[in-house]
Amino acid sequence: MKRLFTGVLLLLSTFLASAVADDIYSQSLTAIFATPEDASKAAAEILQFPNGKKIAFSTRWDDTNPRHLDTAKMLSERGLFATCYLVGLHFDKKSVATVSGILELGGAIGAHCISHPHLETLLPNEIFREIAYERAVLESRFDTNVVGFVLPYMSYSSEIDPKVKTCVGLSISNAGYRVSPEIFPENHKRFGIGKSDGAYSSCTFSVNDRNPSRELMLKNIDRARKNISNGAPPHITLGIHSWQDDDGLKRLGEYIDEIKSDDFWYCNENDYAAYRTQFLKSKIRKISDRGNSVLFELSRPSALHIGSDIPLAVKFSVPPVSVFLGAKELSAENGFYNIPQYASRAVPKKIDMLDFTGKGGGSLESGKFKGLDFSFDFDRDSGGIALKYGGKSMMKVSNFRARWIVPPCYATPLDGVAYKGELSLMAKLVPNPKLDYMEAFSEGNMLVMAQCDFLFEGVPARVWLARADCRTVPDSDCARDNAAHLGDFDASLNDSAKFAEFSKPGSVLKDFAGCSWSGKSNKRLREFVVDFNGFRIMKKYGKSQMSYLICADFDAPVAGEYKFFVSDRAVGEIYLNGRKIEAAKSGMKIKLGEGLNRILLVLDNKALRANNLVFAVAGENGLLPCKAPKSVK
């Protein structure tokens, strides 16, 4: 650690956060008018969307699915674009070909987490890793910008931990995502964060992923328009899965034809995020006029962090004869002028990633920028982050800046900028006053990253640096560590009498249906969540019925009523202290005796689409301790 903090270092804390956040810069526009009178009264305005459109229309397609390319082709034939939200860190040849095809058609890709989890069931450090790490992987794998993110299962909140929704929301923001088209239109309100902390929202809807419905299409478009007229974001998103067969895709295209409108700006999510950011943060003002010539100053965010080089549309109150950006004359399109970014401010065209986790304190060479080396260090105890770059190709690097990507328990430091060509940058992490959650981040592996942007031989480039401080999660008296598992087995073998017997406190759990009881602790999960991945056994059962048992003892300090939390959608039957509970719902009250009480969950086929389950009992003072039931070894 000391090696990186010595030498020439730059601690950046003296420049404006607003300017750093989006790298605001200025461009000069010269407009020539027919007469001095026209020039004196001329004004300029930035249009909400390109070509004077009123509403942005994008599409959202979740998961890593080869059918996305068919969807993208259908949309392209109609002048629309696909944004596909991928899952995972590794992509086979077919997936790479699919993504390449989507990008060639003008589409974009977004992130949908590494493992498609219910985020609220994970340790906070794992929530951040699932959200942030995939962005770096996708960008470097496909050399494209990723600024869109959507929630797996559209889930983010917890009955047991109300703060987790804010942790999810700030993780999305801290990771650098700009847009998240969810089925709820105002993301920041759902996550309990400030509007400036949230990703852009949309009026998102489905028309039935497998069997597209014309009625749903017309109904949802009408609802979206009404919501927008009442103040919702001017953004409509159609999705959500590419599960249509060829006939379904054909009908979906026909329904899209029916609702097409001159009001709509058809865009991918990157272009939407980039344009929306520019519209909200750009300003144009008249500097001077001389004769029939007027000088305007346009201040705008660079394309660096916003996802796309899309130009910014400007309209003049009096039509000019000609408009120049510097010495370059711009052409009018439908009376508007599209102002491009400067080439040096464009999005990176080549992106690399280096992960330093478990690699000590040495340096690594970039695979895509030969001769360029990086070091990256993070001290969790002190909160210090430091990076260093150099190597044989360092003279090819200019305009270097680092954006620190950190967990939401920390306030995000200002960007590190090598104003004078510094080769080392550092930051100090401090607790985030917006999220009193530091203790929840104390367990598990904490990830920090640096998004390094620079010009390499004059061309925009990016290298992601990642490092995790890896710490064990100790065992505790919780369902995650102590629940007993048995299964899976054919549901025809279910035995209510046996299940009732298993659920009696103090009884010894015996083998059943050819299966033995075992522990199954997953340290990525919260203490009130037990591991069960139904997707792994889904193909085994097909249309036949499955059962799986989970059992745990909960220690009540006194007899009385307690709250019982469970992923009830995945559970078929529940037994408590020797009897079956009828119509159990998560959050319901149950009566426990003093001391150990046993609960047995019987999972059925509904659990085949679950990847973990909430299983906890709470009293006035929090969650009850959970003990491991005795079983026959």
DSSP state of 167: H
pLDDT at residue 361, as a whole number: 83
Closest CA to 346 of 463, 178, 459, 179: 459
DSSP state of 594: S
Q: What angle do CA 569, 575, 579 make, to 5 degrees?
A: 140
3-state secondary structure 202-237: CEEEECCCCCCCHHHHHHHHHHHHHHHHCCCCCEEE
The conformational region for residue 192 under phi > 0 = left, psi -120 to 50 = alpha, else beta, is left
Average of per-residue pLDDT across 347-367: 95
DSSP states of 94-139 as a string? HHHHHHHHHHHTT-EEEE--SS---GGGB-HHHHHHHHHHHHHHHH
Average of per-residue pLDDT across 89-110: 97
pLDDT at residue 5, as a whole number: 27
Listed in sequence order, the DSSP H helices in 143-199 are 164-174, 187-191
Could you give the CA distance from residue 147 to residue 151 in angstroms, rounded to a whole number?
A: 14
CATH number of 479-627: 2.60.120
Mean pLDDT of the chain: 94
pLDDT at residue 213, as a whole number: 98
pLDDT band at 543 (very low <50, low <70, confident <90, very high): confident
pLDDT at residue 185, as a whole number: 83
Could you give the CA distance from residue 368 to residue 100 in angstroms, rounded to a whole number?
A: 19
CB 611 within 8 A of CB 535: yes
Cα torsion through 255, 256, 262, 268, rounded to 10: 170
Average of per-residue pLDDT across 555-561: 97
Q: Could you give the percent of the chain with pLDDT greater than 90?
A: 92
DSSP states of 488-521 as a string? EEEGGG--HHHHHHHTSTTPPB--BTTB--EE--
pTM of the full structure: 0.94
Could you give the CA distance from residue 181 to residue 512 in angstroms, rounded to a whole number?
A: 46
Q: Report whether CATH 2.60.40.10 matches the domain 2-20+348-469.
A: yes
CB 459 within 8 A of CB 349: yes
How far apart, in Å, are the Cα atoms of 132 and each of 158, 438, 451?
21, 18, 11
pLDDT band at 631 (very low <50, low <70, confident <90, very high): confident
pLDDT tens digit sequence for 313-331: 999 999 999 999 999 999 9
Task: Report the amino acid identity of residue 545.
Answer: Q
pLDDT at residue 633, as a whole number: 60
pLDDT band at 584 (very low <50, low <70, confident <90, very high): confident
Neighbours of 593 (CB within 10 A): 12
pLDDT tens digit sequence for 213-247: 999 999 999 999 999 999 999 999 999 999 999 99
Average of per-residue pLDDT across 92-103: 97
Average of per-residue pLDDT across 24-46: 97
Fold assignment, 56-275: TIM Barrel (3.20.20)
pLDDT at residue 1, as a whole number: 30
pLDDT tens digit sequence for 450-475: 999 999 999 999 999 999 999 999 99
pLDDT at 370 over 80: yes
CB 347 within 8 A of CB 187: no
Could you give the CA distance from residue 571 to residue 565 in angstroms, rounded to a whole number?
A: 12
pLDDT at 296 over 90: yes
pLDDT at residue 13, as a whole number: 32
Could you give the CA distance from residue 24 to residue 16 in angstroms, rounded to a whole number?
A: 11
pLDDT tens digit sequence for 103-132: 999 999 999 999 999 999 999 999 999 999
pLDDT at residue 21, as a whole number: 59
Average of per-residue pLDDT across 29-46: 97
Three-state secondary-structure class, residue 304: helix
pLDDT at 4 over 60: no
**537: CB partners within 8 A, 6+ apart:** 488, 546, 608
pLDDT tens digit sequence for 372-406: 999 999 999 999 999 999 999 999 999 999 999 99
Closest CA to 613 of 577, 580, 565: 565
pLDDT at 3 over 50: no
CA 233 to chain centre: 19
What are the domain boundaries of the chain?
2-20+348-469, 56-275, 479-627
CB 586 within 8 A of CB 614: yes
pLDDT at residue 585, as a whole number: 86
